[in-house]
Structure 1
Amino acid sequence: QEFSYARAQQWMLNHEAFSMQIVFQYLMTIFMLKQLMKDRPPFQLIGPIKVWNLTIALLSGVCTAGMTGEFLTTFFTKGVNPSLCSTGDTFFHGRNGWFLWCYHIIRLFEFTDTLFIILRKQPLLFIHWYHHALTLFVSWFCYARPSPYTRYAIYINAIIHTVMYTYYFLRASKVRMHTIIAKVITAAQIAQFGIAFWSIIHATVLKFILAESCELDTGVLCLSWFMDICYLYLFVDFYRSKYIEKSK
């Protein structure tokens, strides 16, 4: 049966308050759980973590494979401007629409990362929980509105998540890996936000300066600007403090 974006879009619109409730409950839960774990010994949870990371790596990989055809076809046959300004009949619909929908739903489950961090009493960084909370809300909001330029951020993010969770799985499995891998993954995330930022700037110029026909929702654009500036700053600062300052 053909995937119906209209139904998925309407469901997202009808449950926008639900997405905000999830984010609020997530924040409440992690800080309450952190207090509960304060005087308790950490859990190991090696088995569940391995299963979890492998599951997300496989799901992200499947979604990446499912979205590759549409991304490459749009980019190479239609060009950069149409890829930023038009969803056409392929981005939200058909095969790509199904995998795009699935990738957004996976966001709901990625909060589990934070639970593992707290239960194992590892440092809970601001960049971690802020990134999870804001991404769910913004991606939910954007999915229900015209946002063709997000195809770049979504597709590249799916690739990075596939690599990143595979790395987490191997690390949890005690596979020895060079320390440079973590550094490269963080650099790839920064590059992802850089490309996303370029797509936002380019789409903004096309619509508001060159006055070209562009399927852009102003609310989505404003949220995208805010989110990407935040992420660029946070991830560059994280990279600087973890990999540059520590090496001095």
Structure 2
Amino acid sequence: METDTGMATLQWPSQRHKRELASSGPTQYSYPFAELVDERTQSWPLVASPRNAAALLTLYLLMVRYAPKWMARHKPLQLRLPIFFYNLAMTLLNAHIWLELYISARALKYNISCQPCRVSYDPYELRMAAAFWWFYISKLLEFSDTLFFILRKKWSQLSFLHVYHHSTMFVLCWIIVKWIPTGSTFVPAIMNSFVHIIMYSYYALSTLGPRIQPFLWWKRYLTALQLLQFIIGLLWCVHAVLQRCEYQPWLSYTSVVYMISFLYLFGRFYSQKYTKAAVKCE
């Protein structure tokens, strides 16, 4: 079903639902920060209860733990066609997310530096919140990256960095949708979706066979682009903390630590894969 905002299928909270949320208060919840949740997204799929996110994350980690043992008894699968269409779909989904965030932020005249998360039912605010919901769902779909590695027995790619990245991004995006689905969070989200457009485009092209490989010389720059994303994200988070932006301070502090962890892990990966490899070649 299409809404007048151009977004499909999501059902916005009814007036009755909003009154119930307002009247029942925080006593209906039993987990930390429940009184701070954003009422606009609580009726959306996989948002309201932390049990849903916890269950999905647990299933993912169990897959990481036990699926490789099961695959050890089987031959690796090729899956070239499914992987191509998966990467193509992820490219299009991230392009949609990027476009929705950009259109909404521009229409609302958002400040990229310090933009409060307003509980507003303006169509463009809801459009941005819906884009964040799709951003959250995209991180759930990205668990398929790990599944494909396991089914193809690409054990070297099933690293701590890979699992840490996928599992923690899923949790972070659930937190964003539940507590702050608008405001300054659009800055790192729009950067991340842009990076993923390029990344999944590369992955889709890489499945097309050896004739395409000579044109994929820019693979190493994908990791460099991710590192640049984390550097900008870290500077943005530090700025938010120092400027005491009218924003959730706990998220800003957490994001600083999170960006540092990514810079370290991706930086070490880049150094091991490209810098040290170049030295050996010399």
Which of 56, 78, 87 aligns to 2:117? It is 87
Spell out the pairing of 1:66-215 with structure 2 (5 A cutoff): 66-72=100-106, 79-81=111-113, 84-88=114-118, 89=120, 93-122=125-154, 123=156, 124-146=158-180, 148-174=183-209, 175-178=212-215, 180-207=217-244, 214-215=246-247
How many percent of aligned residue pairs carry the same amino acid? 26
Alignment length (residue pairs): 238
2:41: which partner in 1? 8
> Whose helix fraction is larger, Structure 1's or Structure 2's?
1
- Counterparts of 2:236 and 2:132, CA distance in 1: 18
Instruction: Give the secondary structure class of the aligned counterpart of 1:58.
Output: helix
Instruction: Give the secondary structure class of the aligned counterpart of 2:278.
Output: coil
- Counterparts of 2:57 and 2:110, CA distance in 1: 37
- Counterparts of 2:88 and 2:269, CA distance in 1: 25
CA contact (8 A) 2:104 2:125 kept: no
Q: CA RMSD in A?
A: 2.4
Distance 1:21 1:92, change over 3 A: farther
- Counterparts of 1:143 and 1:98, CA distance in 2: 9
Structure number with the bigger relative contact order (C-alpha 8 A, sep ≥ 6) is 1
Q: Which has the larger radius of gyration?
A: 2
Q: Which moved more, 1:127-136 or 1:23-32?
A: 23-32
Deviations 1:156-182 (CA, angstroms, capped at 9, x unpaired): 110111111011000011222445411
Deviation at 1:13, TM superposition (A): 5.6
- Counterparts of 1:228 and 1:221, CA distance in 2: 10
- Counterparts of 1:111 and 1:64, CA distance in 2: 20
- Counterparts of 1:139 and 1:47, CA distance in 2: 29
Q: Which runs of 5+ in 1 are unaligned?
A: none
2:64: which partner in 1? 30
TM-score, normalization by structure 2: 0.76
- Counterparts of 1:168 and 1:102, CA distance in 2: 21
CA contact (8 A) 1:194 1:232 kept: yes
Deviations 1:220-246 (CA, angstroms, capped at 9, x unpaired): 234312321111111111111111011
State yes or no: 1:57 paired with 2:91.
Answer: yes
- Counterparts of 1:238 and 1:149, CA distance in 2: 29
